[in-house]
Structures are given as structure tokens and as C-alpha cells.
Structure 1
């Protein structure tokens, strides 16, 4: 079982969607988590709706600080993946075990203005991009890759449109 932490500044949309996707699609192989450097304190309603449509448990959907994962007793993280450009530019905590890291930048659907349908399309576009990347992660032969190869592959996945 590999532990993956998805990071975004607010931990309210993209990182939540990534957590739900990997938590659902990678069940049994991966434990997915998400957090933010400056958590919004709430999950965006459309992100929560899409996550639950995947079958992700509603009680796992909460906006939280990345500090929770740098404390004693927190799960040992194998991979840290940023999904927003702001979080990628921030100085992250030192994670125990020095996990492999990558940046999978995705436009922020929460920043899209317009009617409900326009906003929903933005969330679906973010989710589609993240799903494609999660599926590529799931296809990696992780038991056959060393740390540097894994890190390189994670970076390549982040360039997938």
C-alpha cells in the first residue's frame, strides 16, 4: 500500500478531487490523502458532489492543513503531488521518509465565474485531467522502479494534458 498526499493551497477542490479519484480507483493499492497550505476550511460543493458520485465516502471530504501530515502518528507519505501552481511554489514541510514529489498543475475550477453549468463544466474538466493522471499512476510498475525513476515518471504524468 502506497500513501499519496495531494496538495493545493486551499484544499477545497482539485486536491479533494485527486484524493477521491485515487482513493476510489486505487483502492487496495493506494491510500489517498489531500491537504492545503492555507486550507479553506470547507470543500467546494461541486467537488464534494463529484467525489461522492465516484463513491468516495462523504466523511473523508474535509479541507485540512498539510501540517496534519507532518506530525507524529501521521501516515508515512510515499508520494507528494501538488495540483495547483501556488502550492508548487510554496516551501513544503519536510516530510518524514522524503517522499517522491511531482507537480500536476490543473486550472482551478473554483475560480471560474459564470452560471452553474459553466462552473460544473470547469470541475468536470479538472476531474477529467486528474483522472487521466491517476490512471497513469495506477499503470506504473512501482515495484519495478527505483525512487529516481518513480519521481521522473510522476513528473511526466504531470505533463499529460
Structure 2
């Protein structure tokens, strides 16, 4: 049996971009991928505009809790996707690293977050194809 791929999404606050990406990958991955997210400086709660933008698609991230990035998170992952965490993400040999340059939804309205959500969705769908095709 093939190993289940493990994907880690990392952004600064683990409240918007990485939470949306993790929820979308869990949705599209259909249980075939282990997904986690973390932040270099986690916020206290998930960004309400990000949660609202995903709720429009029937996905609920309101119960998620922003988590501090650890070396163990990175070490356990096959693919590490950074979204503006800068140099704080540790690098381990043999990992696949992707840097998704995306606007930060912090402090933005849901109208401003929708295009960010849509771009994350496009990239997550592409990632699913790369992982399983």
C-alpha cells in the first residue's frame, strides 16, 4: 500500500490562508492525504472573513485553532507549502517545498478574501492532481 502523503500549510498567523488551504485539501483529498496547518506567529482565532468565505462553499473552519509551527510538523510532512511565513519555516532535506505568494486576508472584508480563497482553491486542486494523478 502506498504511503499517505502528508501536506503542511504554513502562514504567519495560521488564521486565514493556511486554514483555508487545509480545509480545501481535506475536502478534495477525500481522506487520501494527511493535512495540517501551522503559523510562525499564530493568531488567537481563525480570521472571520476567511471562515465566512469558506462557509459560502459549505466548509466550516470556525472550530479550527491557529497552531504554532514546530520542527516536528515540517519533519513529518512530505510537502510543505509556505504562504508568506518568510524565513521562519525550517528546511529539511528530502521535502518538497512550495511557496504560494498570496495576499494576506488579515483585516480584510469577505469581499476582499473571496479572490484569495478562489486562488487557494485553484492551487489546491492542482496539488491534488499532482499528488494523485
Match of 1:36 among 36, 39, 48: 39
State the SS of the aligned residue for 1:124: helix
TM-score, normalisation: structure 2: 0.82
Give the aligned length: 129
User: Structure 2 regions of 5+ residues with no counterpart?
Assistant: none
State the alpha-carbon separation in 2 of the partners of residues 128 and 16 from structure 1. 14
State the alpha-carbon separation in 2 of the partners of residues 124 and 40 from structure 1. 20
Aligned position for 1:19: 22
Match of 1:46 among 49, 58, 71: 49
State the SS of the aligned residue for 1:109: coil
TM-score, normalisation: structure 1: 0.69
Q: Is the 8 A contact 1:41 1:64 kept in 2?
A: no
Call closer, same or farther: CA 1:56–1:3 in 2, change over 3 Å.
farther
User: Structure 1 regions of 5+ residues with no counterpart?
Assistant: 113-118, 145-161
The structure with the largest helix share of the pair is 1
Look at both structures and tell me which one has the larger radius of gyration over its CA atoms.
Answer: 1
Matches for 1:1-161 after TM superposition, within 5 Å: 1-52=4-55, 53-56=57-60, 58-59=62-63, 61-67=64-70, 70=72, 76-84=76-84, 87=85, 89-95=86-92, 98-112=94-108, 119-140=109-130, 142=131
TM-align CA RMSD: 2.5
State the SS of the aligned residue for 1:90: helix
Call closer, same or farther: CA 1:49–1:37 in 2, change over 3 Å.
same
